[in-house]
Amino acid sequence: MTETKIVVITGASSGMGEATAKLLAKDGARLVLGARREERLKILKSEVEKLGGQAVYGMTDVTDVAQVEALAQLTMQTFGRIDVWINSAGIMPQSPLADKRIADWDNMIDINIKTLYGIGAALPYMNKQQAGQIINVSSVAGHIAHQNSAVYSATKFAVQAISESLRQEMAAAQNNVRVTVVAPGAVNTELLSSVTDPQVKAGMAQFYDSFAISADRVALTIKQAIDLPADAAWNEVIIRPTNQIG
């Protein structure tokens, strides 16, 4: 079903965003890839095309509303509609609050909660189309807070709240826009590279080495959420490694 869909992905340059682009490409999807690292996006575009999809990319910092709006405009100019907008961009520099890694706090709040800009960019077009789907990547940390996860969890709790309000607003508007939250547990991606506290990073790396699953599993979940008939929506999927406890 995804072959006819036009799908925008933020955070497309690595991890789950990249894996999702490659999986959807196999069905011939038309993709718009957003992230900051142009070289990675260029390579991904050619990989998508080899796999049978079409792709354009826009260098996009999700903290800059003009750049996110430009990604939506690029999509409209290239493909004429936006069927699915996936907000996957995010960082996870966890640390104890007492360490006051304030730059990390600010960056997480800015990047992870700026899922909002993606929603804002896509909605006017989806409203006009009377159809669409917003997929927000949250986390198990959007349900549970642990030591060191205060700010990261707070941003992911925020994504949960934003998504539920959005779902209710879309249903009230009767505009056929589906809202899906995908909340993964440990997934093997580049995310740990954003952790600045060496001790926390070492602990997380050990946990990830034991449990993390491939980003392909999350890509499959996203594809299944897209493929569901349009009159039904997975509003939230929690996907953990089978043996991950918390």
The residues of the shown chain that bind ligand NDP, judged by CB under 6 A, are: 10-17, 35-37, 40, 60-63, 88-92, 111, 137, 139, 184, 186-187, 189-191
Smallest distance from ligand NDP to CB 37, Å: 3
**Quick one: 37 or 128, whose CB is closer to ligand NDP?**
37
CA 61 and chain centroid, separation = 13
**Quick one: 128 or 158, whose CB is closer to ligand NDP?**
158
Smallest distance from ligand NDP to CB 116, Å: 13
How does DSSP assign 40-107, residue by residue? Answer: HHHHHHHHHHHHT-EEEEEE--TT-HHHHHHHHHHHHHHHS--SEEEE---------GGG--HHHHHH
Q: Is 125 a catalytic residue?
A: no
**Quick one: 173 or 205, whose CB is closer to ligand NDP?**
205
CA triplet 230, 223, 61: central angle to 5 degrees? 105
Catalytic residue among 57, 117, 125, 152: 152
Smallest distance from ligand NDP to CB 161, Å: 15
64: left (phi over 0), alpha (psi -120 to 50) or beta: beta
Q: Identify the helix (H) or strand (E) that includes residue 187.
A: strand 187-188
Smallest distance from ligand NDP to CB 81, Å: 23
Q: How far apart are CA 150 and CA 111, in angstroms?
A: 16
Smallest distance from ligand NDP to CB 15, Å: 2
End-to-end CA distance of the chain: 34
Tokens read off for 69:
């709006």
Q: How far apart are CA 78 and CA 11, in angstroms?
A: 20
Helix residue spans in the chain (DSSP H): 15-25, 38-51, 65-79, 102-112, 115-129, 150-173, 198-211, 215-227
The β-bridge partners of 62 are none
**Quick one: 127 or 196, whose CB is closer to ligand NDP?**
196
**Quick one: 131 or 154, whose CB is closer to ligand NDP?**
154
Residues that are catalytic? 152
